[in-house]
Structure 1
Amino acid sequence: MAIARTLAAVCTSVLVLAGCAQGETSDPSATAGSDASASSDGTLTLYSGREEDLVQPLIDQFTADTGIEVEVRYAGTTELAALLQEEGAASPADVFLSQDAGALGAVAKADLFATLPESITTAVDPGFTSTDGSWVGVTGRARVLTYDSEALDAADVPASVLDLTDPEWNGKVGIAPTNASFQSFVTALRVLEGEDVAREWLEGMVENDVQLYPKNTAILEAVQAGEIELGLINHYYWYRALAELGEDGMRAQLSFPAAGDAGSIVNVTGAGLLDGAADDADALAFLEYLVSEDGQQYFVDATYEYPLAPGIDAPEGLPALADLTNSELDLSDLDTLGDTTALLTEVGLL
């Protein structure tokens, strides 16, 4: 549904979420917004693990539509997840917007999220949101390999990320170990292939002189410049570059690892409501907006990510989301972020 256009309409919408408009009842101890006293002061505090240039226009649009002001703290997703666990109930955050499901799972595991209304969690396709209502998926992003088309043909690109430890790729591959999406990929590798395989792969990458970058954008730029031949990124960074440079300007090209490979997982960005904001009408309205038609279409048009709400088309040229999804991976199982960062530290990548 589209976002309400006035603050009064937003507050009414939140009461509908609570089941008040139709006289419905729910357990106020279990579900956010279930208390008819849900209140609005016209502001909310957002911890955003997504970059400012990606989401601030959406936040500005939300404020323009509703009159609700959003105070944003931007930082890395992993950093904010750790901060939320450190702050606990004293956190000023009302909503956590995460770059990946792993960080959301870690915060949920610490019992810091309120349970969201079903009208929010069921607004997106099943399989791309939490199984317990603790957080909702917002967009889908596929893990891909970008390659230097002047050095490699598409057929030369490995079908599995596990092959990147082969000697032929020595010094030619880029990763971003501090990036939350990379860390979620490693978590998925641990879940799908086991701890030993994940450790051996990481150690093999280090031995193979893997090149380290701070984020996906830097990896793509390195491939584009011919500095490295392969890089692990999220798909939408390439599509953003394509929109800016055009097809003739793209030396870097995309390759999707084989379906089922840990390197081809479809992760999600997502959001959760902090327990202290369970009855905050403004925070609920923001979450409602993220999964609304307006919010989902923004991500399609501006960031080239997969929408998760039914009935909204993905950006042109992307493979169907169903063709990329790994049926053996439950995104709720990506909640062992701490174990992944410990492993990355142990092998010298953090």
Structure 2
Amino acid sequence: MSLRRLVAAALIPLALLASACGGGEGESFGDDSLVIYSGRNENLVGPLIEKLRTATGLDVQVRYGDSAELAAQILEEGADTRADLFFSQDAGALGALSKHRMLAPIAPAALDRVPAEYRGSDGTWVGLSGRSRVIVYDPRTVTAPPKSVFELTDPRWQGKVGWAPTNASFQSFVTALRVLSGEDRARQWLEAMKANGTQTFSNNVNILNAVDEGKLQLGLINHYYWYEKVAERGANGVPSRLAYLPGGDPGALVNVAGVGVLKDSEHAAAAHKAVDFLLGTEAQKYFADTTKEYPLISGVATAAGLPPFDSLKGPEVDLSKLDSIEQTITLLQEVGLV
């Protein structure tokens, strides 16, 4: 078996890989099109892609899917990949491609728009927006939410917590947990959570909805899902509340969505033009105002109501070290979660 096939198999089960890449077999792209493999959901970033087309004049086509699955797809395709730009939901999938030398250097002028802690240490990927892991809770039944993810294994929360093990953001959190606390403690936590009856969901939205509907007391999600729902329904229409974990807890990971240009892209100039747009004011305001994420360039304000970005107390972890997504997937498989 080739190295790429081994890596792809470690990244994601091939049965999932075959069905999850937003088109799969028979999908074709125009020879002159800029092709983006996007781990960001079309509902979230589709309007931004339209802005990209308009602002740059590029013919842009997108394959949507899960970030880890798309990273595995790119590794499997190798030098023959049709992807020009990889738009990832998290740093881990970008780091995995960088580790396997699939990404090209990004121009220093673009990298320098973003603080060093939110871009690849080797300069091959750059963060576009920041997101914080949080605990969403139901204040109708929870008066004092946990102050650490390690408290969630307590019997008082048996069957009352939701998570999404196949979600890329959750997998990056587990990777951070492995990096910060060690393999043994990460495994112990996952096994204890499973034994405590933690309920499994396919994504963050379903977890949030379950808490609002009183079906869960607590859930592990990214902050922006809650703020988007509040923007849509108003504060009175969203019963749940968010708990930002203190003291550098692994559950307070501040991750980024970001992009990398494929080393073997046939449209590298267009891909770098797209990166420039995504790091520009218009795109950064979209992340702030529409998706309720944290903009990463200076001069663009965070959306009203969000805690200031510099007030978040996430753990001190080099996002470039979240590239060991293969080991995380293997751990989740061994525990029986994916």
TM-score by length of 2: 0.89
3-state SS of paired residue (2:131): strand
2:332 maps to which of 305, 320, 344: 344
In the TM superposition, what are the counterparts of 1:43-122 in structure 2 within 5 Å? 43-122=33-112
Q: Provide the C-alpha distance between the structure 1 equivalents of 2:266 and 2:192, rounded to a whole number of angstroms.
A: 45
Task: Write the deviation string for residues 21-47 of structure 1: whole angstroms up to 9, x where unpaired.
Answer: xxxxxxxxxxxxxxxxxxxx8630000
Cα distance, 1:279 vs structure 2: 6.1
Matching of residue 288 in structure 1 with residue 276 in structure 2: yes
3-state SS of paired residue (1:271): strand
AA partner of residue 206 (structure 1): K
Q: Percent same amino acid among aligned pairs?
A: 49
- Report the aligned-residue RMSD: 1.2
Cα distance, 1:280 vs structure 2: 2.2
Match of 2:121 in 1: 131
Contact 2:87 2:258 in 1 (8 A): yes
Task: Write the deviation string for residues 92-147 of structure 1: whole angstroms up to 9, x where unpaired.
Answer: 00000000000000010110000111011111122111111110000000000000
AA partner of residue 220 (structure 1): L
3-state SS of paired residue (1:303): coil
2:257 maps to which of 269, 291, 294: 269
In the TM superposition, what are the counterparts of 1:95-244 in structure 2 within 5 Å? 95-153=85-143, 156-244=144-232
Match of 2:299 in 1: 311
Q: Provide the C-alpha distance between the structure 1 equivalents of 2:211 and 2:289, rounded to a whole number of angstroms.
A: 25
AA partner of residue 71 (structure 1): Q
Cα distance, 1:252 vs structure 2: 1.0
Cα distance, 1:324 vs structure 2: 1.7
Match of 2:11 in 1: none
Q: Provide the C-alpha distance between the structure 2 equivalents of 1:66 and 1:306, rounded to a whole number of angstroms.
A: 24
Q: Provide the C-alpha distance between the structure 2 equivalents of 1:142 and 1:96, rounded to a whole number of angstroms.
A: 21
Q: Any gaps of 5 or more consecutive residues in structure 2? A: 1-30
AA partner of residue 249 (structure 1): G
Q: Provide the C-alpha distance between the structure 2 equivalents of 1:42 and 1:195, rounded to a whole number of angstroms.
A: 45
1:331 maps to which of 314, 319, 327: 319
Contact 2:248 2:313 in 1 (8 A): yes
3-state SS of paired residue (2:118): coil
Larger Cα-atom Rg: 1
3-state SS of paired residue (2:221): strand
Match of 2:21 in 1: none
279 and 44 in structure 1: CA distance in 2 versus 1, 3 angstrom threshold: closer
Cα distance, 1:320 vs structure 2: 2.0
Match of 1:253 in 2: 241
2:286 maps to which of 298, 319, 333: 298
Contact 2:252 2:315 in 1 (8 A): no
Contact 1:259 1:323 in 2 (8 A): no
Q: Provide the C-alpha distance between the structure 2 equivalents of 1:317 and 1:206, rounded to a whole number of angstroms.
A: 34
AA partner of residue 310 (structure 1): S
Task: Write the deviation string for residues 293-314 of structure 1: whole angstroms up to 9, x where unpaired.
Answer: 1110111111000000012111
TM-score by length of 1: 0.86
Q: Provide the C-alpha distance between the structure 2 equivalents of 1:167 and 1:326, rounded to a whole number of angstroms.
A: 26
Q: Provide the C-alpha distance between the structure 2 equivalents of 1:319 and 1:271, rounded to a whole number of angstroms.
A: 25
Contact 1:145 1:231 in 2 (8 A): yes
Cα distance, 1:66 vs structure 2: 2.2
Contact 1:265 1:324 in 2 (8 A): no
AA partner of residue 48 (structure 1): S
3-state SS of paired residue (2:305): coil
Q: Provide the C-alpha distance between the structure 2 equivalents of 1:48 and 1:254, rounded to a whole number of angstroms.
A: 28
Q: Provide the C-alpha distance between the structure 2 equivalents of 1:316 and 1:201, rounded to a whole number of angstroms.
A: 35
189 and 278 in structure 1: CA distance in 2 versus 1, 3 angstrom threshold: farther
